[in-house]
Amino acid sequence: MTLRFADASAPSTPLHLVAQDDLASWKDTLAEQPRGWLERLGFSAAPGEAVLLPDGAGALAVAGFGTPEKRARGRFHLAAAAAKLPAGIYDLVTPLPVDMLEEQALGWLLGGYRFDRYKQGAGGQGAELKAPAGIDAARIEAMAGGEALTRDLINIPANDMGPGELEKAVRDLAGRHEASVAVTCGEALLEQNFPLIHTVGRASSRAPRLIDLRWGDAGPRLTLVGKGVCFDTGGLNLKPASSMGLMKKDMGGAATVLGLASMIMTLGLKLRLRVLIPAVENSVSGSAFRPQDVLISRKGLSVEINNTDAEGRLVLADALALAVEEDPDCLISMATLTGAARVAVGPDLAPFYTTAEPFAAALSASAVRHADPVWRLPFHAPYEAMIEPAVADLDNAPKGGMAGSITAALFLRRFAEGARSYSHFDIYGWQPAAAPARPVGGAGQGARAILGALPEVLGL
């Protein structure tokens, strides 16, 4: 869906953000009629409280919204105002620092997201916001558009978002930005030496594939790899129903790198972008791969399968090996990879791993600036022994249950060896409880933080 600011020339209602300490001074700025209504309505400027004040003719003159004194707790407070205000166009007149203004404007746009593909009579336009003076409106809209794409792709159920439909979504995005797409599908995966992608996806009636998008012909090389497991039953290590219910989101890594790619292409960044998505469905049939199988990867490393439900790292392995062959300046993978990451940091934070200190520093600063929280976890070398079984070079699911996110990241790093800069994000891709600008459902994580870090990391 399109998330845009309102026409700057359209009539609008002034919107004030009011902290409780500032209520008295704000009241003094109001005309007599709105001030009288403010007193009658008992507006206290409590966080999240909204007030609508008419003028003498009964028309809406001013809107006010109570905000916290400090920014430290929560994000996108203005988005909560958008949800409480009637349809119309609003103009934020409260002076704020630019970084805070951009966060609030982005939150307003993200708060307008609706996933109504399967609903009849979906609602119309709600409250709209003019782009506040001083912000980079085009950049904010590009970020909102990329996030909306990510949310849509995750929210669409697996019956309508299999490997073929994911390929179509990539082609649609490429068509909007004059990018190219190449796809290796089905048995051609074996012919082109992508054995792990083929093995994970071969049990499904929907053919596995590797989707390869390219855009840009000058500048540094950035390669994004996204896990595209469109549905994950767990394979022969079948998940219980309680764990399988959200597995339409197991392509959240692919959805997030596509959202990031959309931002990059919309903004016209001067770089050479490549997006690799191994798209599969991990199903159960007579051709499913088995526990104790030993598979040979594109890189030549052998992998012992100790859990068919640890399939995401397998498909990423072949894609990462391909990515390294081109020697990109920056290589990033994103995946809904482990439950261990959620146990460690919860659903809001996206843990990341990196081999490049400059990337870590730039990303951490950008994450704060763009209200897109991340947290660094280590490529802890002593745990390498945990992914080295006696039978093969690597184990896809080490026993013991400890350091699950770290061992998965170490597994992936083996296939990214030789990369100048490699970073991996173990995202959740889902908003489990409604919050300002974040309805329950699919969610991008880390994309805005990466976007903001790229100029420093790649010298753009």
Domain CATH for 346: 3.40.630.10
Measured from the Cβ of residue 423, the count of other Cβ atoms closer than 10 Å reads 25
Residues 238-290: tens digit of each pLDDT: 999 999 999 999 999 999 999 999 999 999 999 999 999 999 999 999 999 99
In a domain, 1, yes or no: no
The last residue of one of the domains, among 131, 150, 179, is: 131
Tell whether 162 and 247 lie within a shared domain.
yes
The last residue of one of the domains, among 131, 156, 171, is: 131
What's the total number of domains in the chain?
2
The average pLDDT across 3-31 equals 92
| pLDDT for position 72 | 54
In a domain, 8, yes or no: no
For residue 149, which phi and psi values (nearest 5 degrees)?
A: -60, -45
Tell whether 125 and 145 lie within a shared domain.
no
CA angle at 371 for the pair 447 and 319, rounded to the nearest 5°:
15
| pLDDT for position 331 | 98
Answer positive or negative: Cα dihedral of 78, 81, 83, 86: negative
The last residue of one of the domains, among 73, 97, 131, is: 131
Answer positive or negative: Cα dihedral of 299, 302, 304, 308: positive
| pLDDT for position 120 | 86
Tell whether 427 and 369 lie within a shared domain.
yes
Tell whether 106 and 164 lie within a shared domain.
no
Query: Is 71's pLDDT higher than 60?
Result: no
Instruction: Please report which confidence band the pLDDT of residue 56 belongs to, taking 50, 70 and 90 as the band edges.
Output: confident
In a domain, 374, yes or no: yes
Tell whether 121 and 211 lie within a shared domain.
no
| pLDDT for position 80 | 87
Q: What is the CATH number of the domain that holds 126?
A: 3.40.220.10
Tell whether 118 and 73 lie within a shared domain.
yes
In a domain, 240, yes or no: yes
For residue 213, which phi and psi values (nearest 5 degrees)?
A: -100, 140
| pLDDT for position 103 | 93
At which residue do the structure tokens 């919204």 appear?
Answer: 65
Domain encompassing residue 337: 140-458
| pLDDT for position 78 | 87
| pLDDT for position 401 | 83
Q: What three-state secondary structure class fits 18?
A: strand
Residues 370-399: tens digit of each pLDDT: 999 999 999 999 999 999 999 999 999 998
In a domain, 2, yes or no: no
Tell whether 398 and 281 lie within a shared domain.
yes
Which residues are catalytic, by number?
Answer: 239, 313
In a domain, 99, yes or no: yes
Residues 43-55: tens digit of each pLDDT: 999 888 999 999 8
Tell whether 166 and 75 lie within a shared domain.
no
Who wins on pLDDT, 1 or 85? Answer: 85
The average pLDDT across 31-57 equals 89
Q: What three-state secondary structure class fits 265?
A: helix
In a domain, 65, yes or no: yes
In a domain, 5, yes or no: no
Between CA 67 and CA 90 the distance in angstroms is 17
Tell whether 156 and 113 lie within a shared domain.
no
Tell whether 175 and 88 lie within a shared domain.
no
Tell whether 175 and 107 lie within a shared domain.
no
Tell whether 82 and 200 lie within a shared domain.
no
For all residues of the chain together, what is the average pLDDT? 95
| pLDDT for position 70 | 59
Amino acid type, 375 = W
Strands 228-232 and 209-215: unpaired
